[in-house]
Structure 1
Amino acid sequence: MSPVALPVATAAVLHGATDLRVEQRTVWPPRAGEAQVAIFSTGLCGSDLHYYTHGRNGDFVVREPLVLGHEAAGVITALGEGVSHLHVGQHVAIEAGVMCRSCSHCLGGRYNLCPRLRFASSAKTFPHLDGTLQTRMNHPAHLLHPVPEHCSPERAALAEPLSVVLHALRRASLQPGHTVLVLGAGSIGILAAAVAKALGASRVAAADINRARLDWAHGHGIADDIYHIELSSPSSTSTRSNNNAEKNSNSKPGDESIRRARENSQHALKVFGALEGFDIVMECTGAESSAQMGIFCARTGGKLMLVGMGTPNMNLPISAAATREVDILGTFRYANTYPSALALLGAGVLRGVDDLVTHRFPLEKSEEAFTLMRKGFDDHGNVVLKVMVQSTTN
C-alpha cells in the first residue's frame, strides 16, 4: 500500500530579528479534540511587530523558529476524533490562547490567568506554539468560534483585538451614560472607542500624539472629540527656566514628567470641556507618560484601565489617584469574550470597523506587511492602522 500524501502548508516563519522566511510545512491530521482550519485572514498586532523587529517581545525571546500571528479566521477542513459541535466548511474565528482547563483560574472562569496557558505566536512558553500566518493549522476545537452569517473572515479576524477591548471594558464596569476617554488611537484604541459607543457611553473622546489617527477616528464618527498631545506640555516654554532651577534643588527623578502629564491633562480636559474628568480612561499605549496623564484625566471616583503593555516599570502619581479614589485596573488578554465579540461584529454596530483594515498583503509578502507597520504611513501618505495578511483565497 502506497503511503498517503499529507497536505503541505505555506507559513511565514520568524527565525530571528527581521529574519522572516516563507516555508513549506507538512500538515498532520488533527488529533482528538482538534480541528484543522484553512486560514483566510490574519491581522498583525504590536506584539507581532516587536517579535519581527527585535526577535523578542519584552522578556519573551524567540528561541526556535516561530510562526507569528494570532488575530485570525478561516474555514474548517477536517475534524479530529470526538469533535461534534463543528462541521467541515464552517467559518470560524480562532481564539489563540490554549489554557489547561483544570487550574483554579480556568475553573473560576478567568482562564486568561492560567499559569500553563500557551498562546499562539508567543515565545513565553517553550516549545513555542505556532501562530496563524500559515495556510492551514490544527487547533483545539473548543477554541474555534462559529462566525455569524454575513460576517466576512476579515471582519471575524478582528474578534481577537475586539476581545481585548471587551475584557477591559468589563473590568472597568462600563455602563450606559458613562463618559470615556481613550488614550492612544491605534487599532486597539479605535476599537475601544467604537465598542464604548456601541455599549452606550454618552461621550467618547480620544487623545494621541498622532494627528492622522485622531483625524481618522473623528472622521469615522468613532470619537466625538479629539485632542492632539504635543510632545512638550503647553506651558513648557514659559516655565522651563524655573523648572530647571527647581530640578537642580528639590526635584526628584520623574517629577518633570508628572508635571508635564498634569499640564497636558488640564489642557486636554479644558479643550474637551470636561474639567471634572472622565468616568473611564482607557490607556491603550503602554507608555508611562500616557498612564500618568490617564490618572489626571479620570474624574474623582473614576477608573483608569491599563490596556496597553509597554513600559514594564512606571513612575505614577499615586497620591493623585489615591486621594481622589481613582481605581487603577490592569487587564491581560481576555476570557469568555469571543461570542460577544463576534455578535457585535455580525450585528454591524461598530462604526468604522470595516475601514479599520487599511492595508492587505498576501502571505508570501508578510515581510512587506511588517515593514509597512514599522513605517506607520504608506508611500501615498496614508495612515496605517490594521494590516491584514491573507493566507488563503476565501
Structure 2
Amino acid sequence: MDACVVHGAGDLRVEEQAAVEPGAGQVAVRIAYGGICGTDLHYYRDGGVGNFRVQEPLVLGHEVAGWVSAGELPAGTPVGIHPATPCGECPECLQDRRNICAFSNYLGSAARVPHIQGGFVRELILPADQVRVLPAGLELRRAVLAEPLSVAIHAVRRAGDGAVAGKRVLVTGAGPIGLLVVAALRRAGAREVIATDLHETPLALAKQVGATATIDARATDWPDEIDIAIEASGTAGGLRTSVERVRRGGTVVQVGSLPPGDTGFPGALLMTRELTLTGAFRFDHEFDTAIEWLAGGLYVDPIVTHTFPLAEAVAAFELASDRTVASKVLLEVNAEPPP
C-alpha cells in the first residue's frame, strides 16, 4: 500500500509500505483524507520540528479520517482518529492533562526512535480507543478538521473557563489554526474577534469564518481594550504584538509553535500590566467537542482550499507552503470505502 514518507529535508516520496493486519484491541482504518499541518511542512522543508529530527523514513500525517476496514468495528464505519496515545501513568495523565504527557506517542512524529509513523497511508492500524465513530451526516472531508479544530478549542479554553464570552479577542496569524481559533471563539461567545496576518488571502478567509474585523499585521492603528490575545502565528512578532496590545490585566495564549531557542518579547509588560501568559499544546477531550461542533454545522468549510490525490503529495506540500494562495490543503488518500 502507498504512503507519503519523508526521508529528510526536501525529500518527500510516495512509496509502498508493507500491509499490516490489526491485532487484539486494534482497528484498521482506510484513510479517506489527511490534512497537511504546519508540522508536516517543517518535516518536509527542514527535516525536523525543533529538536525532533528525521532519522529514519517517517510516514507523515496526524489529521486523518476514514472508514473502518477491519477490527472491532463494522467495516465501512466512518471514523475520526485521535492522534495521541498518552502513557496513562505519569503525573500529568493522572491529573487529566494527557495532552502534555511526556511519554505520549503522536502520529507522524520524530520525537522518538523508532519514529511514530503517521496517517498519510492507504490503511492505518491503531488502538481502538483512538477511533471515534462519526455522527450521521458528518462528511469525512469536514471531519478531517477535527484534529486542528481541537487545537483551537484547547487554546480558547486555556484563556480561562468561559473567559472569552462577551470579550474582544485578538488572533495573531490567520493560518489554518488561527482561522479555526476564530471560528471557535465565535462559537464560545466572543463579542468581537480581530484577526491579523500579513497576507490578503488568510484575512479574507478569517472574515468568512467569523472575524468581526481584520488587520494587516504591519498596521499602526489598532483598537483599544483588547481583552485576550491568542497568538497563532508562531512568530516572535506575533507574540510581541499580543503582549503589547492586550489591556492591563489581560491574557495572552501562545498556541503557535515558536522556533526553538530564545524568543524576544517585551517581558517587562507582563509585570507592569499584570498580564497572564500561558501556553496551549495539542488537546485531549476537545477532540470529541470538535466532532460535535463540526456535526452541528460550525462554519469552517472555507478553510479547506485545495485537495490533491496522494500520488501528488509533493505538489500538495509545495502549495501548502504558499500562504498567499492556500490555507488547509488535503490529501485524498482513498476515494472509496472498503467493500
TM score, norm. by length of structure 2: 0.95
Match among 204, 207, 225 for residue 215 of structure 1: 204
Match among 132, 138, 159 for residue 119 of structure 2: 132
Aligned positions of 1:263-278 closer than 5 A: 264=220, 267-269=221-223, 275-276=224-225, 278=226
Is residue 392 from structure 1 mapped to residue 300 from structure 2 by the alignment? no
CA RMSD in angstroms, aligned pairs only: 1.4
| 2:217 aligned residue | 229
From the superposition, tell whether residues 107 and 221 of structure 1 become closer, same or farther in structure 2 (CA, over 3 Å).
closer
* Residues 246-295 of structure 1, C-alpha deviations (whole Å, 9 max, x = no match): xxxxxxxxxxxxxxxxxx4xx222xxxxx22x221010011111101101
Aligned positions of 1:313-328 closer than 5 A: 313-328=262-277
Q: Is the 8 A contact 2:174 2:202 kept in 1?
A: yes
SS across alignment from 2:137: coil
AA paired with 1:327?
T
Match among 60, 70, 74 for residue 66 of structure 2: 74
Quote the offset at 1:181 in angstroms: 0.8
SS across alignment from 2:334: coil
| 1:107 aligned residue | 94
AA paired with 2:75?
V
| 1:279 aligned residue | 227
Q: Is the 8 A contact 1:145 1:338 kept in 2?
A: no
Hey, what's the Cα distance between the residues in 1 that align with 2:55 and 2:3? 18
SS across alignment from 1:88: coil
Match among 324, 347, 369 for residue 316 of structure 2: 369
| 1:118 aligned residue | 105
Hey, what's the Cα distance between the residues in 1 that align with 2:320 and 2:182? 22
AA paired with 1:368?
A
Hey, what's the Cα distance between the residues in 2 that align with 1:128 and 1:221? 36
Match among 15, 18, 38 for residue 23 of structure 1: 15
| 1:255 aligned residue | none
Deviates further, 93-102 or 337-346: 93-102
Quote the offset at 1:221 in angstroms: 5.0
Structure 1 residue runs of 4+, over 6 Å off?
none
SS across alignment from 1:127: coil
| 1:297 aligned residue | 245
From the superposition, tell whether residues 320 and 197 of structure 1 become closer, same or farther in structure 2 (CA, over 3 Å).
same
Is residue 306 from structure 1 mapped to residue 254 from structure 2 by the alignment? yes
Q: Is the 8 A contact 2:5 2:57 kept in 1?
A: yes
Query: Whose relative contact order is higher, 1 or 2, with alpha carbons under 8 Å and at least 6 apart?
Result: 2
Q: Which runs of 5+ in 1 are unaligned?
A: 1-8, 235-263, 270-274, 378-382
Is residue 198 from structure 1 mapped to residue 145 from structure 2 by the alignment? no
| 2:173 aligned residue | 184
Q: Percent identity?
A: 38
Greater Rg over alpha carbons, structure: 1
TM score, norm. by length of structure 1: 0.82
From the superposition, tell whether residues 375 and 168 of structure 1 become closer, same or farther in structure 2 (CA, over 3 Å).
closer
Hey, what's the Cα distance between the residues in 1 that align with 2:209 and 2:140? 24
AA paired with 2:290?
A
Hey, what's the Cα distance between the residues in 2 that align with 1:322 and 1:336? 33
Q: Which runs of 5+ in 2 are unaligned?
A: none
AA paired with 1:339?
D
Hey, what's the Cα distance between the residues in 2 that align with 1:120 and 1:103? 20
Q: Is the 8 A contact 1:27 1:137 kept in 2?
A: no
